[in-house]
Amino acid sequence: QVIHREDYRAPDWRVPEVALDFDLGPARTVVKARLEVERAGPGPLLLDHGGQEIVSVQVDGAPFDARNEGKRLTLDLPGDAHVIETECVLAPETNTELMGLYASGGMLCTQCEAEGFRRITPFPDRPDVLSRYSVKMTADKARFPVLLANGDRVGGGDLEGGRHWAEWRDPFFKPCYLFALVAGDLKANRDSFTTASGRKVELGIWVREADLPRTNHAMQALKGSMAWDERVYGREYDLDVFNIVAVADFNFGAMENKGLNIFNSRYILADPETATDADYDAIAAVVAHEYFHNWSGNRVTCRDWFQLSLKEGFTVFRDQQFSADHGSPAVERINQVRNLRAAQFQEDAGPLAHPVRPDSYMEISNFYTATVYNKGAELIRMMATMLGPDRFRRGSDLYFERHDGQAVTCDDFVKAMEDGGGIDLSLFRRWYSQAGTPKVKATVRQDGSDAVVSLEQSVPPTPGQPEKKPMPIPLRMALFDTATGAPIGEERLVVLEDAAADMRFEGVGERPVLSVNRGFSAPIIVESDRSAAELALLSAHDNDPFARYEALQQLMLDTLIAGVEGGSADFAPVVDAVRLTLENGALDKAFVAEAVLPPSEAFVGDRMSVVDPEAIHRVREALRAELGRTLERQWRAAYLGSASNRFELTPEAKGARRLRSIALGFLMAGGAADAPALAFEQFQGATNMTDRQGALTVLVSSNAPQREDALAAFYDRFKGDALVLDKWFTTQALSSRADVLEQVLALAAHPDFTLTNPNRARSLVGAFSANQRGFHSGDGGGYRFLADNILALDAINPQTAAKFVAPLGRWRRFGEARGALIRAELERIVAKPGLSKDVFEQASKSLA
């Protein structure tokens, strides 16, 4: 049951017209479909389905006896054009997988990507079959007063017995994964946007009435995204309406259905009391992401699912650009890189590593990964860096123009960049086919008055790919004077194409300090022999803010690794560098807050051959304590200097809140006597969730007596708000206390915990598995907890269960004893009768 990219064949039948008729009810929904099909090849018509009750299949008005095997109907049809009519019956309220048509909080909604549409009606469920849809919905009017689908509403009215109907028509050809409908008792935040060419678009964000006041931020983000895509990519919206619906039960972040985006409510709802600044930023980014898909994904879609990064990598890159344009570009980049390293580098280094354009899969849902999304975005970014903004824009214009209305491949995108941008990307294409994070060794040596930078690249072996070829790696680099820290000459963009190369910088004088991969111009690991003094110099003087951040991170990382591996480390250079950063009045607070944070325990572990979570935790805490103690005056100044009594969402205000909670954390780590009281005071006096959760996070990892009071107060106040309660679970699951596993086990038994809501499952199980110290503690209880939950969730929602397997896949990295314990859990999972293919694929690959 493995599907290979090489086996792609174009469909034998096109389906230009689709008419769907839904008689909607939570317990019973009847779906009638009418497909106009046209022959495009010699084979039979294949209609995928989800095992639902199929009442009838007719061809041209007469009953047809279709072969039904392996959840697929095969229709051997004569001639070239037919009308296929099917009828099936669904039970949305029992659909716990949340794929296809399902019920959530009293409403009915759909999720079709990647292969959910077949669970609604038999169909050639593949992205290269493009159709125009008409959708008629009939439902009880009191329960489902609002009926939405893709495109424009073209009709509707009341019926006998308290029922009503609505019909929608989407004039654009689209693959079935972009189909959507929603029926519910919803209210809209309405607004409008006029496009550059004068089309007035009605905008609606649909939520439960009580949530309406929390939709304004999303609406501003939507309008901002529409304007941004016109300005930066020349892309206009193309329908008269654009609707967004927020749903409480959702398997991932959101979905770009044509004209009717459906969102996990956590990426729509925000007000200062319940959403953190990070939530606000994530909402804007996801709203932008889904909106941008209208062109990068919907107008131009994927030929097959191996090409997923065609739309996801490009669209992530676009939403990253949007976020950078609306905040601090440096801090945005820092956060993007931190995410990439936490998720994608780990994936690339483990048994689930795969290329940005995978070669095979068992279950496509397992390939909505950090590699396809985030490394995919880095590939687009590298092309943009090599081309420069104008030529990149010519490439993207050509891409949209050439492929509008088509289902295409990653290679078509690269070709458009080549043709439009005027660049040869033949070697660059290797980035799409080779998995693994490249390493680049960068060293500087003196040659007379010249400096010579030697670069050497290697791409590690990954499953199924023992040998790798060198790839073009665009590296922004600059040199700095060792004595003064002044820049020497201009930054250069060097593309390392071969396995190794030397770059000569002429007339440099004394051996300079190298700043390389500035702005994180390539998704690689740099290995350099820069000393603590050189890194400290860059951290104080580099004129690229990302590189400055990176230098201090590298200094902290080297120090922590020395502490873990050598048993002792000299913290003084880190303390000095952090002091200079805190005292540098020219840096903005948002940057300072990120720069002074030591690398995460997981990131330190990634750089060690055998991960010792306890030792990493101990050394990192010792460093935090030392920083807290020695720089107490500076932390206090940062803490007090970042207070504010007015809530604003400006980058400055957000930066101040971030720095304030980070300073609080250092005061606590340093053992300042008043730190617990300060934290509790911040917690109680907070006028916003950022300050409140910042204080709670600090208290939860402590033994302070205020800890339990704060947790109880938080629970009491927010127990009715699912999204905030998720934070309550997550904050505790991420605690660095030694007893976190016990706490997590108790929380799993809490009446508010459930696996049926994916957000809640992630808030506890997902968060805990990212807590390196807690998850790997003791006797394997953390592994057992995770495996138990994967198995329990697999019976309800395999797709979300499979997302929890990855941490177990890292067993090789944690030494003999832990490795054996983790393997035993993976074996227990694989052995479970009736296991889904989603979880089977991830667990069996993890063992291999």
Q: Which residues are catalytic?
A: 290
Residue 368 binding partner per list ligand ARG, Zn ion, none, with a CB distance cut-off of 5 to 8 Å that depends on partner kind: ligand ARG
Should residue 256 be labelled a site residue for ligand ARG when binding is judged by CB under 6 A?
yes
Which residues, numbered 57-116, are part of the site for ligand ARG (CB under 6 A)?
Answer: 113-114
* Binding test (CB under 6 A) with ligand ARG, winner from 182, 255, 547, 740: 255
Residue 323 binding partner per list ligand ARG, Zn ion, none, with a CB distance cut-off of 5 to 8 Å that depends on partner kind: none
Least separation in angstroms between residue 218's CB and Zn ion is 16
Q: Which residues pair with 17 in a beta bridge?
A: 36, 132
Asked whether the beta carbons of 436 and 461 are under 8 A apart, the reply is yes
Residue 365 binding partner per list Zn ion, ligand ARG, none, with a CB distance cut-off of 5 to 8 Å that depends on partner kind: ligand ARG
Q: Which residues pair with 18 in a beta bridge?
A: 35, 133
Residue 132 CB burial class (10 angstroms; 0-12, 13-18, ≥19): middle
Instruction: Give Cα separations from 71 to 34, 51, 56, 549, 798 (angstroms).
Output: 19, 6, 15, 53, 18
Residue 254 binding partner per list Zn ion, ligand ARG, none, with a CB distance cut-off of 5 to 8 Å that depends on partner kind: ligand ARG
Asked whether the beta carbons of 376 and 356 are under 8 A apart, the reply is yes
Should residue 283 be labelled a site residue for ligand ARG when binding is judged by CB under 6 A?
no
Count of residues in contact with ligand ARG, rule CB under 6 A = 11
* Binding test (CB under 6 A) with ligand ARG, winner from 85, 281, 304, 312: 312
Should residue 282 be labelled a site residue for ligand ARG when binding is judged by CB under 6 A?
no
Residue 48 binding partner per list Zn ion, ligand ARG, none, with a CB distance cut-off of 5 to 8 Å that depends on partner kind: none
Residue 274: count of CB within 10 angstroms of its CB: 17
376 three-state secondary structure: helix
Should residue 400 be labelled a site residue for ligand ARG when binding is judged by CB under 6 A?
no
Asked whether the beta carbons of 444 and 514 are under 8 A apart, the reply is yes
Should residue 304 be labelled a site residue for ligand ARG when binding is judged by CB under 6 A?
no
Least separation in angstroms between residue 344's CB and ligand ARG is 15
Residue closer to ligand ARG by CB (options 320, 732) is: 320
Residue closer to Zn ion by CB (options 312, 542) is: 312
Which residues, numbered 357-376, are part of the site for ligand ARG (CB under 6 A)?
Answer: 365, 368
Asked whether the beta carbons of 593 and 654 are under 8 A apart, the reply is no
Q: Which of 411, 309, 419, 409 is nearest to 354 (CA)?
A: 309
Q: Which stretch binds ligand ARG (CB under 6 A): 83-91, 247-255, 757-765, 807-815?
A: 247-255
Q: Which of 767, 781, 696, 782 is nearest to 733 (CA)?
A: 767
Residue closer to ligand ARG by CB (options 252, 715) is: 252
Q: Which of 545, 556, 298, 265 is nearest to 403 (CA)?
A: 298
Q: Which residues pair with 300 in a beta bridge?
A: 296
Amino acid identity of 686? A
Residue 210: count of CB within 10 angstroms of its CB: 8
CA–CA gap between residue 554 and residue 552 (Å, rounded)? 5
* Binding test (CB under 6 A) with ligand ARG, winner from 8, 233, 252, 753: 252
Should residue 319 be labelled a site residue for ligand ARG when binding is judged by CB under 6 A?
no
Residue closer to ligand ARG by CB (options 289, 773) is: 289
Least separation in angstroms between residue 114's CB and Zn ion is 12
DSSP percent split of the chain into helix, strand, coil, nearest 5: 45, 25, 30
Should residue 794 be labelled a site residue for ligand ARG when binding is judged by CB under 6 A?
no
Residue 255 binding partner per list ligand ARG, Zn ion, none, with a CB distance cut-off of 5 to 8 Å that depends on partner kind: ligand ARG
CA dihedral in degrees (40, 41, 47, 48; nearest 10)? -110
Should residue 349 be labelled a site residue for ligand ARG when binding is judged by CB under 6 A?
no
Question: What is the three-state SS of 642-673?
Answer: CCCCCCCCCHHHHHHHHHHHHHHHHHHHCCCC
* Binding test (CB under 6 A) with ligand ARG, winner from 101, 207, 254, 408: 254
E strands, 326-391, are: 360-361
| Residue 141 per-residue DSSP state | T
Least separation in angstroms between residue 169's CB and ligand ARG is 23
Which residues, numbered 315-374, are part of the site for Zn ion (CB under 5 A)?
Answer: 315
Which residues, numbered 297-326, are part of the site for Zn ion (CB under 5 A)?
Answer: 312, 315
Residue 252 binding partner per list ligand ARG, Zn ion, none, with a CB distance cut-off of 5 to 8 Å that depends on partner kind: ligand ARG
Q: Which stretch binds ligand ARG (CB under 6 A): 53-61, 253-261, 469-477, 709-717?
A: 253-261
CA–CA gap between residue 638 and residue 644 (Å, rounded)? 12
Residue closer to Zn ion by CB (options 369, 846) is: 369
- CB nearest ligand ARG: which residue? 368
Residues that bind Zn ion (CB under 5 A): 312, 315
Residues that bind ligand ARG (CB under 6 A): 113-114, 252, 254-256, 289-290, 312, 365, 368
